[in-house]
Structure 1
């Protein structure tokens, strides 16, 4: 993916402003544009000055044990939304005739202070592998390798009421195994590996998992991906004769077409493995992987003059030694990485966070309190960190949870619409807004005649900061207006599209 400049949209403010500058500098309104550009820059700087500045403090709640029986419990996965926490894991019956086997599920609606009792969502005679978990709008989705009515393949169950009731397990694709699952609004995506070696694909549902179709019959094998409204950002391991490297992949159309890999790990004799990806509020890619026992972070930083992704130098996370499986998440200016170094009796969970997107890191934390533990799974929402892992307590494998709180209030104090950036823009522009109370939110784009040309948001939303994009690729150059409406507040911003 050395060029791809006609296929990849970026969130780089500098690149979009440069395009607008070259298209506009010969205009008679050039002086006005320069003044407007300065004004826009000031708006951006002052707009984000209100964001919370975090310290290296992290306040931990006590450890909660979620599983409690003689079943070996492994491979936990976690998703969070607001005050709700949802966790699954896989129970293995090592003695025969035990309960609590198969895919287990617990829920909490008070940030993990109290959890429901574990329940079996998919029994062990159907689920042949640990599950992958995704969440969207009070809907939960689990995929697994399943065996139902003589058919082995990609298994699936879902809940449309926050985990209280679950559908019957079913096979979505025979002779295949799921690798990943992701959800955004009503869209659910499953990345699978066919039984045929080297064959990978993508299943897509647009109605919360009710019906499915093949989105891509052939695609790269990826280890982790991030799904937005239409775009996929993914990372995977690319093999060569000498080593394994970490590659970045991109799909601009929901997974139908893929571009990559762009190799981002050092191209040396050392294999780079277990890559994970997160995306910040400007769309920059944040990727971690294991490099010979160290956890390495690499971050994108806009585009270069030829519209290729610009990558900052790889950074070794300071406390990572003898590391194995990493995880990463980002929210509200906080970058958090966690990993295990589960070697024999000395393995434990280690966590480091950065308030500067990886330029520097705070001292490490050891959330499992030194007990033998591994397989961490992380979720970060605003300043609340939710972490689950598997551990050996009293000689048996169990699942644990712990919540951490970064001091500082991140919830917006009022509703506000930020000026779009870049502005003027040539195709893609970014729109940020905040709401302080839960309720209906509408974000619409009008033309000069007052006609709605696109509705960007029309749904109930929880209080937090939001980021959306407007694609003006199908619209004529001119002035447009972005109208932001809630029950308590409304505001309009002027946007200039230059083609």
Structure 2
């Protein structure tokens, strides 16, 4: 028993911080390479692709992922229209298509040997891909029969690589990416991709963008988020962070997220007023977050380097914290056993402070990974109760640890579903 306790304490000391100050919790992706795109069809069914040229699928909200295909060519982007039909772009001019939920894939070639850098389908028949033609121009190809045949529709000038492409109808679309010197460019088309007009020239790569309709959209470039309300003709900067955003996602005109890396920590920012104000949700460990997807304002997933993946069912908002404060001054520092224990899904943790102090109350899983920070603030002397809702966590043994300026203690609790 002493041996097991010692191991748990060691794990706590070397734990990797994956979810502080927010309701994002880790998932096991089954991948060790980088996840570059993720998409969920509903709360249960989702897909992702990685730099190992693999496609994985889940049917339980991300709790378990299964490999559905490993492709021969380097893959770059993914678009699923529904749970059955999806498309993946790749080098060698290849487009992979499934119509049976990833059980089998057909390979179609655009008649090219170049890399296809991004893909978008408006419906089951109409889609576009961007093609890395050379360092100063990219081509756009289009299909009208579900990817079986492709034809050249136009060129995007001055750009070395397009990172993303999107259309809201058969005529109106956008693409963005980088020049050869890694400055960013963004373009708009109103004739189905035949002509592309530059509407943004940035000092850093346009990593991603999203349009909710023909008028309202957001672009991320470096540490900036910019918004347009006239179809991408004009852009207004909304937030700047000392880092680099890699992906963004909006579920409606008010609520959205942008994520990436600052220093050595993953970052997620959220807005609930169309980007006028942004708040930091989490520093998700020392891993860059590359791909993000939400199905509504509450449920979303993010993933990135080395197969790291996180999920939220609260829109990324913190769902734990101090619930009550008793004014009585205790006679000593003390961390009580959580109650109830075992619990399902919620439990309360009471602790005693004899003096004002900065207090941290942190939840760990049995591997020593930080799951949630319940308290991280300066508190006056008194008796406090904090709550934890573990509705999205699996059954098992969890640890909670309190740290003050003069006191530290670890206790064990059991989630039993």
Q: Does 1:403 align with 2:312?
A: yes
Partner of 1:459: none
- Does the CA-based 8 Å contact 2:119-2:164 persist in structure 1? no
Instruction: Provide the C-alpha distance between the structure 2 equivalents of 1:401 and 1:407, rounded to a whole number of angstroms.
Output: 10
Instruction: Provide the C-alpha distance between the structure 2 equivalents of 1:309 and 1:170, rounded to a whole number of angstroms.
Output: 34
Partner of 2:38: 78
Equivalent positions of 1:40-119 (< 5 A) are: 60=23, 62-67=25-30, 73-83=33-43, 84-91=45-52, 103-112=53-62, 114-119=63-68
Alignment deviations for residues 82-114 of structure 1 (CA, whole Å, 9 cap, x no partner):
2321111122xxxxxxxxxxx2222223432x3
CA root-mean-square deviation? 3.0
Q: Out of 187, 193, 200, which is 1:255 matched to?
A: 193
Equivalent positions of 1:81-480 (< 5 A) are: 81-83=41-43, 84-91=45-52, 103-112=53-62, 114-122=63-71, 126-127=72-73, 129-137=74-82, 138-145=84-91, 153-167=92-106, 169-186=107-124, 187-194=126-133, 196-216=134-154, 219=157, 221=159, 222-230=162-170, 231-238=172-179, 245-259=183-197, 261-263=198-200, 265=202, 271-281=203-213, 283-290=215-222, 295-302=223-230, 309-312=233-236, 314-317=237-240, 320-321=241-242, 323-332=243-252, 333-341=254-262, 347-366=264-283, 368=284, 370=285, 372-391=286-305, 397-406=306-315
Alignment deviations for residues 397-452 of structure 1 (CA, whole Å, 9 cap, x no partner):
334342343399xxxxxxxxxxxxxxxxxxxxxxxxxxxxxxxxxxxxxxxxxxxx
SS in 2 for 1:360: coil
Cα deviation for residue 81 of structure 1 reads 2.1
- Does the CA-based 8 Å contact 1:226-1:234 persist in structure 2? yes
- Does the CA-based 8 Å contact 1:238-1:245 persist in structure 2? yes
Cα deviation for residue 325 of structure 1 reads 4.5
Instruction: Provide the C-alpha distance between the structure 2 equivalents of 1:363 and 1:217, rounded to a whole number of angstroms.
Output: 38
- What TM-score, normalized to structure 1? 0.53
Instruction: Provide the C-alpha distance between the structure 2 equivalents of 1:197 and 1:263, rounded to a whole number of angstroms.
Output: 19
SS in 2 for 1:253: coil
- What TM-score, normalized to structure 2? 0.62
Cα deviation for residue 355 of structure 1 reads 0.7
Instruction: Provide the C-alpha distance between the structure 1 equivalents of 2:100 and 2:296, rounded to a whole number of angstroms.
Output: 24
Q: Measured at CA, do residues 156 and 264 of structure 1 come closer, stay the same or move farther in structure 2, by a change above 3 Å?
A: closer
Instruction: Provide the C-alpha distance between the structure 2 equivalents of 1:161 and 1:59, rounded to a whole number of angstroms.
Output: 37
Cα deviation for residue 378 of structure 1 reads 0.8
Q: Measured at CA, do residues 373 and 407 of structure 1 come closer, stay the same or move farther in structure 2, by a change above 3 Å?
A: closer
Cα deviation for residue 121 of structure 1 reads 3.0
Alignment deviations for residues 209-255 of structure 1 (CA, whole Å, 9 cap, x no partner):
2222222256553332321122112233356xxx7654331111221
Q: Measured at CA, do residues 217 and 338 of structure 1 come closer, stay the same or move farther in structure 2, by a change above 3 Å?
A: closer
Q: Measured at CA, do residues 354 and 109 of structure 1 come closer, stay the same or move farther in structure 2, by a change above 3 Å?
A: same
Instruction: Provide the C-alpha distance between the structure 2 equivalents of 1:284 and 1:251, rounded to a whole number of angstroms.
Output: 15
Cα deviation for residue 264 of structure 1 reads 5.4
Structure 1's unaligned 5+ residue stretches are 1-57, 92-102, 146-152, 266-270, 392-396, 409-499
- Does the CA-based 8 Å contact 1:234-1:249 persist in structure 2? yes
Alignment deviations for residues 317-343 of structure 1 (CA, whole Å, 9 cap, x no partner):
3xx32x2342111112212100123x6
Structure 2's unaligned 5+ residue stretches are 1-20, 318-417
- Does the CA-based 8 Å contact 1:349-1:376 persist in structure 2? no
Instruction: Provide the C-alpha distance between the structure 1 equivalents of 2:208 and 2:76, rounded to a whole number of angstroms.
Output: 18
- Does the CA-based 8 Å contact 1:67-1:399 persist in structure 2? no
- How many aligned residue pairs are there? 291
Cα deviation for residue 360 of structure 1 reads 0.8
Instruction: Provide the C-alpha distance between the structure 2 equivalents of 1:275 and 1:301, rounded to a whole number of angstroms.
Output: 20
- Does the CA-based 8 Å contact 1:245-1:263 persist in structure 2? no
- Does the CA-based 8 Å contact 1:66-1:118 persist in structure 2? no
